[in-house]
Amino acid sequence: MGLNDIRISNPLLVELFRNNLLNSNTVQKNNEPSKTSFLVVTDQQREIGETSQTFLKGILSACQIPEERTQIINAVELKKGSLEKVLVKYNPSVALIFGDLPLPSGLQQTEAHAQQQWKDTSVLLCPPLSELQADRNKKLKLWNFLKKYFGIA
């Protein structure tokens, strides 16, 4: 086995390049993009900072959502297309929407902690990340909502 014949498994690649893969599709066998099970969309107008990334990773981990099956998008990336286009592109089972973003037709702006169905995607509307990080009560309400939705004891 020479240097040109080194093979690295997909899980090891994900672990090695975790931060680089945070905002890109994961790779399955045959180098095909895997289906995104979970889509997280934030209202942040710039790249998601380290504090917010850590906070989001904590939410994903607590809800037992595998990072490698999750796509995280911020509002800047949404400007390239609508939320509806993003939902169609990734076709997630669940979409966590943080903040007040323009919703696709068929979804209604409601108070935070609401679950709605859009085609095959369960859309969970959540308060803005900045509010959650600053307000313990909002964080607790979100956690209770997510526990109920994901069936966490």
Q: Return the percentage of the chain with pLDDT > 70, whole number.
A: 74
Q: pLDDT for 127-143, tens place per residue?
A: 888 888 899 999 999 99
**Predicted local distance difference test score (pLDDT) of residue 123:** 92
Task: Give the model's confidence band at 22: pLDDT under 50 very low, under 70 low, under 90 confident, else very high.
Answer: very low
**Predicted local distance difference test score (pLDDT) of residue 153:** 76
The yes-or-no verdict on residue 27 having pLDDT over 50 is no
SS (H, E, C) 10-67: HHHHHHHCHHHHCCCCCECHHHCECCCCEEEECCCCCCCCHHHHHHHHHHHHHCCCCH
The yes-or-no verdict on residue 76 having pLDDT over 60 is yes
Q: pLDDT for 77-104, tens place per residue?
A: 776 668 888 888 889 999 999 888 888 8
**Predicted local distance difference test score (pLDDT) of residue 50:** 84
Task: Give the model's confidence band at 122: pLDDT under 50 very low, under 70 low, under 90 confident, else very high.
Answer: very high
**Predicted local distance difference test score (pLDDT) of residue 49:** 79
**Predicted local distance difference test score (pLDDT) of residue 140:** 92
Residue of higher predicted confidence among 15 and 25: 15
**Predicted local distance difference test score (pLDDT) of residue 30:** 38
User: What is the helix (H) or strand (E) element at residue 122, kind and residue range?
Assistant: strand 121-126
In degrees rounded to 5, what are phi and psi of residue 87? Answer: -65, -40
